[in-house]
Structure 1
Amino acid sequence: MKIRSVAVLGAGAVGAYIIWGVSKCKDIKLGVIAEGERAERLTRNGCMINQETYHPEVWTPEEAKGVDLIIVALKYGALPGALDSLRRSVGEHTTVMSLMNGIDSEELIAAEIGASHVLPSLIKIASHKEGTGYCFNPETTIGIIFGELEAPYYSARVRAIEELFENAGMRYRITEDIEAEIWSKFRLNVSNNLPQAVLGAGVGCYQDSVHMRAISTGLRRELEAVAEAKGIDLSKADTSSNHGSAVPPTARYSTLQDLDAGRHTEIDMFSGALMRMGQELGIPTPYNEYTYHMIKALEEKNDGKFDYTGQSSETTCAK
């Protein structure tokens, strides 16, 4: 098996890393799956990555049909609307890797296209938007972690993807404990991504504030309790995957980047998912419940819900 064609679904912060790497492989056909106005914009403007413009091909799902590898790099809220495009793109021998945050994107994708197409994976990259493009440091990027759920772990498709990433100069690691690795990244996102989003400060806040460390610890412990109840052994990933890509103290992770830009966040796939699982398992998740509602309120603030200028001067009473 050899990867000869790659399609990217989602050309944002994560998709940019794939385009940056695979574009260097002259024997690989690379395209971005898009339709309508988004396809027109990508065709016209390309993708700005690390201050350089890339022009991957832009394919409709029908044009992408049967590619060897599809990499899904969408925001969580965009996945439901993209499942039809994904289904129309997958051929009999297509492998699909989801580099989305959270722990259920592979389950949602498998329900649409069949679990046999899905190779579980994750990415650790500190990518951020600058102007109309995305920037990341290739040297500090941990990269893509992937693997089969069961033996044979070094399967033909794993070997083929390893060869692709090696030729592309991309960081990667193959694991026999991919489920634990995905949950380990989920733990990082919940405990490190969310508290700073509420505070609105760079990640240095975790070093400089005992209060921020206490919030992070509370969120993490709730997640670990849910993981243990679900039979996820996070210790299998602790030695290899308990940290993210190196960043300066000013760094702002994805949830805070979304709030800064006035976008809705992925809080539903972080604390929202943990709350649902906690309720099903009878595990209290007060830190996650507070964080969920706080970030939802910040989204409402960005939406203008609390802009009372120009409204009646009639007073209200505190309750």
Structure 2
Amino acid sequence: MKKIKTTAIVGMGALGLLYGTYILDKKFPVCYVMDEKRVRKYENQVFYKNKEPYTFSICSYKNMEPVDLLIVAVKYTSLQAAIEEMAGCIGKDTIIMSVLNGISSEDIIAKQYGRAHLIDAVAQGMDAVKFGNELTFSKMGELRIGAKEACERKNLESVKAYFDEIGMPYQADENIVHRMWGKFMLNVGVNQTCMVYQTNYGGCTTKGEANRTMIAAMREVIAIGQAEGVPIKEKDLNEYVALLGTLSREGMPSMRQDGIAKRPSEVEIFAGTVLKLAEKHGILVPANQFLYDSVKAIEANY
């Protein structure tokens, strides 16, 4: 089993900073890797986690050597560019872990680097919000990790040992595909609803139109998931809605943060994916169609 000694993170959003600061707090080496333009922007910047200041080791892609673990934490809209540029970080034994939303990032990465470099992961239960250089959260959440294919199992064992060593909150999940679809269902509901209704976790879990839209969008994911052969059920929906209830009511998901900052959102990996699979299986998905159209209208007015 390979021992993980060096870690790099691609992406300095909420999750990138959440995990980078955690690893740094545990006195383990970690650096952020990015293009040279971003290096110039961030190399002397101070970041804050719940008001505590942090400075990081920041490297450009072209100056990187292979690391043991590469955590990909960019937005979906930046994933393809990151895949093309991060080659210098990846050696023959490098393990890649994506914490992106959606159900497709691992497959996209595997097209370039192969499944033998990957593990599958779901980040859930955190209420991290990042604006500018400030990260705030009340719950760290946890990582669910697993191996979709047999070639990933050796990587999974290495990551488990590393997470045990640094005390990272995680659980190994034997049915990681089911877990990924469950988190996808949640994201389809809460991310898009919060952006469209300009609300937070409290707003989308309180009885009313936003809550009804969120639940309807999630139920449409159940229908397409079952059509895809994933036995996701109403029980999963109830568990994820209950999980939302444990988060700060003032917290907000990434798409709401995108809307406030007037950034392109990840609507294509949420409603966009639902619409494509719905067409494939002949399933009606009016809630996701409404959310997709509404997000596109919001983005058109930036």
Question: In the alignment, does 2:51 pair up with 1:51?
Answer: yes
Return the offset for 1:244.
4.5
Please show how residues 300-311 of structure 1 align to structure 2 within 5 Å: 300-301=300-301, 303=302
Return the offset for 1:233.
2.1
Unaligned residue ranges in structure 1 (runs of 5+): 304-319
Q: 1:270 to 1:47 in 2, by over 3 A?
A: same
Corresponding residue for residue 230 of structure 1: 228
Residue identity opposite 1:21 in structure 2: Y
1-side partners of 2:76 and 2:159: how far apart?
24
Please show how residues 184-199 of structure 1 align to structure 2 within 5 Å: 184-199=182-197
Residue identity opposite 1:213 in structure 2: N
Please show how residues 269-288 of structure 1 align to structure 2 within 5 Å: 269-288=269-288
Return the offset for 1:130.
4.3
Q: 1:264 to 1:216 in 2, by over 3 A?
A: same
Give me the TM-score of the superposition, normalised by structure 1. Answer: 0.86
What RMSD over aligned residues (CA atoms) do the two structures have, in Å? 2.4
2-side partners of 1:269 and 1:283: how far apart?
18
User: Which shows bigger deviation, 240-249 or 60-69?
Assistant: 240-249
User: Which shows bigger deviation, 125-134 or 36-45?
Assistant: 125-134
Name segments (4+ residues, structure 1) moved above 4 Å: 150-153
Residue identity opposite 1:232 in structure 2: V
Corresponding residue for residue 9 of structure 1: 10
Residue identity opposite 1:231 in structure 2: G
Corresponding residue for residue 101 of structure 1: 101
Corresponding residue for residue 249 of structure 1: 249
2-side partners of 1:201 and 1:217: how far apart?
15
Residue identity opposite 2:137 in structure 1: F
Residue identity opposite 1:146 in structure 2: I
State the Cα deviation string for residues 192-213 of structure 1 (Å, max 9, x = none). Answer: 2222221112222344334333
Q: What is the DSSP-based 3-state SS (H/G/I as helix, E as strand, rest coil) of the residue aligned with 2:25?
A: coil
Corresponding residue for residue 141 of structure 2: 142
The structure in which a higher percent of residues are helix is 2
State the Cα deviation string for residues 246-301 of structure 1 (Å, max 9, x = none). Answer: 32323222211111111121111100111111112222222111110101101112
Q: 1:91 to 1:84 in 2, by over 3 A?
A: same
Q: What is the DSSP-based 3-state SS (H/G/I as helix, E as strand, rest coil) of the residue aligned with 2:230?
A: coil
Corresponding residue for residue 181 of structure 2: 183
Contact kept? 1:9, 1:72, Cα under 8 Å: yes
State the Cα deviation string for residues 129-162 of structure 1 (Å, max 9, x = none). Answer: 245221222xx32211111125698x44323322
Count how many residue pairs are aligned between Structure 1 and Structure 2.
298
User: Which shows bigger deviation, 43-52 or 281-290?
Assistant: 43-52
Contact kept? 1:62, 1:89, Cα under 8 Å: no
Contact kept? 1:66, 1:90, Cα under 8 Å: yes
Corresponding residue for residue 209 of structure 1: 207
Return the offset for 1:185.
0.6
Contact kept? 1:10, 1:73, Cα under 8 Å: yes
Contact kept? 2:198, 2:256, Cα under 8 Å: yes
Q: 1:93 to 1:236 in 2, by over 3 A?
A: farther
1-side partners of 2:237 and 2:194: how far apart?
25
Q: What is the DSSP-based 3-state SS (H/G/I as helix, E as strand, rest coil) of the residue aligned with 1:45?
A: coil
Question: In the alignment, does 2:110 pair up with 1:110?
Answer: yes
Largest Rg, 1 or 2 = 1
Contact kept? 1:7, 1:64, Cα under 8 Å: no
Corresponding residue for residue 158 of structure 1: 156
Residue identity opposite 1:53 in structure 2: P
Contact kept? 2:32, 2:57, Cα under 8 Å: yes
Give the share of equivalent positions with the same residue, in percent: 26
Q: What is the DSSP-based 3-state SS (H/G/I as helix, E as strand, rest coil) of the residue aligned with 1:144?
A: strand
